Amino acid sequence: MKLLAHILCLCLALSLSWADHHEPGQGHGSSKHPDHGHDHDHAHDHDHAHGHDHAHGGPDRCRGIEMDAATVNEEGIPYFFKGDYIFKGFHGKAELANKTFAELDDHHHLGHVDAAFLMHYEDEPTHHDRIFFFLDNHVFSYYKHKLEVGYPKLISEVFPKIPDHLDAAVECPNPECDEDSVIFFKGNDIYHYNVKTKEVTEKEFKNMPNCTSAFRFMEHYYCFHGHSFSKFDPKTGEVHGKYPKEARDYFMRCSKFSEDSDHVERERCSRVHLDAITSDDAGNIYAFRSHHFLRKDANDTLTVDTIESDFKELHSEVDAVFSYDGHLHMIKDNQVYVYKTGEPHTLVAGYPKSVKEDLGLDGPITAAFVCEDHHIAHVLKGHDIYDVELKVTPRAATNKRPVSVFKKIDAAMCGPGGVKVIVGNHFYHFASTMAFVASKALPEEHKVSLELFGCDH
Ligand SMILES: *[C@@H]1O[C@H](CO)[C@@H](O)[C@H](O)[C@H]1NC(C)=O
Ligand SMILES: *[C@@H]1O[C@H](CO)[C@@H](O)[C@H](O)[C@H]1NC(C)=O
Ligand SMILES: *[C@@H]1O[C@H](CO)[C@@H](O)[C@H](O)[C@H]1NC(C)=O
């Protein structure tokens, strides 16, 4: 019954974007996450079960903590605040907030941030792309991570009629709100602040819990309370669907999830980046994230399992995967593991081998993919792409070219429809490897959770 519900739901969601994604025999691809400092920390990952990281001093978000404030920065990277600490992105360790926002301390004993939001209104050049922080009765405005001259100011001066000691704040541009607005939360009082006219409308969000932080992400609105969250309609405060949900399941990358976590629901809807993705000759897609992988069959059935259960030798956290000739080639750190595509996935004798021996270049690898029935693995490493002719031994990585269109890449796959490149929770489509490498401008962005896995919320 549960499985059926997933299938129905997926079909509905996919009908929106059917042509683009239902490509039987779709690609052979892969990837990982390279140069993102806080990102790929195997050692720390195993520590999560032990909770607080004393050596480092910061809180551990995988233990289920209530955040004080949340916002995205001007590049769309999420920032979560807890006490003196900031968490950047959806995983990694806590850092001292004053390392990034130094002056928060000079003017005020930091301790905690009440609320934060990103003002992103191009019509408001004096406030555009500012991150505002609220501490007690003061507001701080940061532009490119520097405190603006004249700040901190009193909240009553900058946002008249908005109370002190806020709980949460979130930006709400037109048309998601009727006017370009900021929504402020204090207890169960809700204030819609019109950025242009400075008018304030008080609202009642009847079905919403009191938010301790609020967050706009991919045009959706989330109210966090405890370590749960509810998605809400910013105009009315209505909550549709089954909420609250566990924040760790969607907005954090943790090695362990609660017993009652719905693995399929979580993995298809998670906003956390993928490590690697590929599809086999039969058109089954395999997507890897941390300790789990999600398989989408050619008939669109989704299943989720731990990497450990199917690819025991790999354990978790792959860097790149491509499929070729009935096998999944999985790369982790400096090793390549080759598994048979069919179940059970058995490791081919002689593997793991070093990346150097198997592909002719040194690991770690960012992503790798093979297009249709070609015999070339396209291997991304840092900002370069190499070709590895798979029918030739010993293998050599040749034809090194820079990839300039992305600052970082998480995963990539290829199929008859072309190359899909995954960055964070978005993917980008290119007609061919050549088009991808030559590209100077980002093509249209697509949502991974919605358009690849049919998560509609
Ligand atoms: C940053 O905050 C920590 C903890 O509150 C404090 O010990 C440290 O001195 C601060 N650093 C700066 C540069 O203000
Ligand atoms: C929400 O905030 C109001 C104050 O505005 C308070 O009276 C109420 O108890 C709070 N509700 C919860 C569940 O904490
Ligand atoms: C989809 O295909 C898989 C095998 O690839 C099979 O196990 C499953 O039963 C199929 N589901 C449906 C609904 O046809």
In a domain, residue 291? The reply is yes
**Distances, alpha carbon 390 to alpha carbons 47, 93, 395, 396, in Å:** 38, 39, 7, 9
In a domain, residue 164? The reply is yes
Alpha-carbon gap, residue 275 to 307, rounded angstroms = 12
Task: List, for residues 276-316, the tens digit of each pLDDT value.
Answer: 999 887 888 999 998 899 999 988 889 999 999 999 999 98
Range scoring the smallest mean pLDDT among 122-126, 172-176, 382-386, 438-442 = 122-126
E runs forming strands in 280-334:
285-289, 292-296, 302-306, 320-324, 327-332
| Residue located via tokens 């405190």 | 147
Binned at pLDDT 50, 70 and 90, residue 56 comes out as low
User: How much is the pLDDT for 51?
Assistant: 36
Q: Do 220 and 279 share a domain, yes or no?
A: no
E runs forming strands in 4-114:
69-72, 78-82, 85-88, 94-96
**Distances, alpha carbon 205 to alpha carbons 169, 180, 184, 215, in Å:** 14, 19, 12, 16
Range scoring the smallest mean pLDDT among 6-10, 296-300, 322-326, 389-393 = 6-10
Last residue of a domain, one of 237, 261, 285: 261
Q: Domain of 239: which CATH number? A: 2.110.10.10
Alpha-carbon gap, residue 316 to 327, rounded angstroms = 18
Binned at pLDDT 50, 70 and 90, residue 246 comes out as confident
Q: Do 95 and 198 share a domain, yes or no?
A: yes
Is residue 360 within 8 A of residue 353, CB to CB? The reply is no
Which tokens sit at 30? 């892969």
Alpha carbons within 13 A on the beta-carbon side of 415: 23
Q: How many CB atoms lie within 10 A of CB 405?
A: 17
Binned at pLDDT 50, 70 and 90, residue 23 comes out as very low
Q: H helices within 15-106, ranges in order?
A: 18-21, 42-47, 97-100, 103-106
Is residue 429 within 8 A of residue 20, CB to CB? The reply is yes
Q: Do 300 and 185 share a domain, yes or no?
A: no
Last residue of a domain, one of 215, 230, 261: 261
CA of 268 to the centre of ligand 3 (A): 18
Binned at pLDDT 50, 70 and 90, residue 76 comes out as confident
- Specify the pTM: 0.70
Question: If you average pLDDT over residues 241-263, what whole number do you get?
Answer: 80
Q: First and final CA of the chain: distance in angstroms? A: 21
In a domain, residue 48? The reply is no
In a domain, residue 223? The reply is yes
Q: Do 76 and 95 share a domain, yes or no?
A: yes
Q: Do 151 and 194 share a domain, yes or no?
A: yes
In a domain, residue 26? The reply is no
Residue 177 clears pLDDT 50, i.e. is over it = yes
User: How much is the pLDDT for 47?
Assistant: 34
In a domain, residue 14? The reply is no
Q: How many CB atoms lie within 10 A of CB 76?
A: 13
Q: Do 380 and 340 share a domain, yes or no?
A: yes
Range scoring the smallest mean pLDDT among 95-104, 150-159, 378-387, 440-449 = 95-104
Query: Beta strand 78-82 with 228-231: parallel, antiparallel or unpaired?
Result: unpaired
Residue 26 clears pLDDT 80, i.e. is over it = no
CA of 112 to the centre of ligand 2 (A): 20
Range scoring the smallest mean pLDDT among 18-22, 39-43, 287-291, 342-346 = 18-22
210, 212, 230, best to mutate for ligand 2 pocket (most atoms within 8 Å of CB): 210
Question: If you average pLDDT over residues 29-44, what whole number do you get?
Answer: 37
Alpha-carbon gap, residue 89 to 92, rounded angstroms = 7
Which residue, by CA, sits nearest to atom 2 of ligand 2?
Answer: 187
Last residue of a domain, one of 230, 261, 292: 261
Q: Do 126 and 205 share a domain, yes or no?
A: yes
Q: Do 188 and 295 share a domain, yes or no?
A: no
Which backbone phi and psi does 314 adopt, to 5 degrees?
-80, -30
Residue 9 clears pLDDT 60, i.e. is over it = no
Q: Do 117 and 237 share a domain, yes or no?
A: yes
User: How much is the pLDDT for 423?
Assistant: 93
Q: Please report, as a single letter, which amino acid is at residue 413.
A: M
Ligand 3 atom, smallest distance to 3 CA: 13
Residues above pLDDT 90, as percent of the chain: 59
Which tokens sit at 83? 């006490």
Which residue, by CA, sits nearest to atom 11 of ligand 1?
Answer: 98
Ligand nearest to the CA of 94: 1
Which residue, by CA, sits nearest to atom 12 of ligand 2?
Answer: 210
Binned at pLDDT 50, 70 and 90, residue 39 comes out as very low
11 lines ligand 3 (CB under 6 A): no
Alpha-carbon gap, residue 87 to 96, rounded angstroms = 9
Residue 32 clears pLDDT 50, i.e. is over it = no
Range scoring the smallest mean pLDDT among 144-153, 241-250, 315-324, 348-357 = 241-250
| Residue located via tokens 């960012």 | 366
User: How much is the pLDDT for 29?
Assistant: 54
Which residue, by CA, sits nearest to atom 10 of ligand 1?
Answer: 98
Q: Do 128 and 157 share a domain, yes or no?
A: yes
DSSP secondary structure code for residue 273 in this structure: P
In a domain, residue 311? The reply is yes
Mean pLDDT of the chain: 84
The secondary structure of 363-430 as a DSSP string is S--SEEEE-TT--EEEEEETTEEEEEETTSSS--EEEEEE--S-S---EEEEETTEEEEEETTEEEEE
Q: Do 311 and 423 share a domain, yes or no?
A: yes
Ligand nearest to the CA of 7: 3
Question: If you average pLDDT over residues 163-176, what whole number do you get?
Answer: 96
Which residue, by CA, sits nearest to atom 12 of ligand 1?
Answer: 98
Helices (H) and strands (E) in the chain, counts: 11, 33
In a domain, residue 314? The reply is yes
Binned at pLDDT 50, 70 and 90, residue 98 comes out as confident
Question: What is the number of structural domains in the chain?
Answer: 2
Expressed as residue numbers, the domain containing 407 is: 269-453
Q: Do 282 and 419 share a domain, yes or no?
A: yes
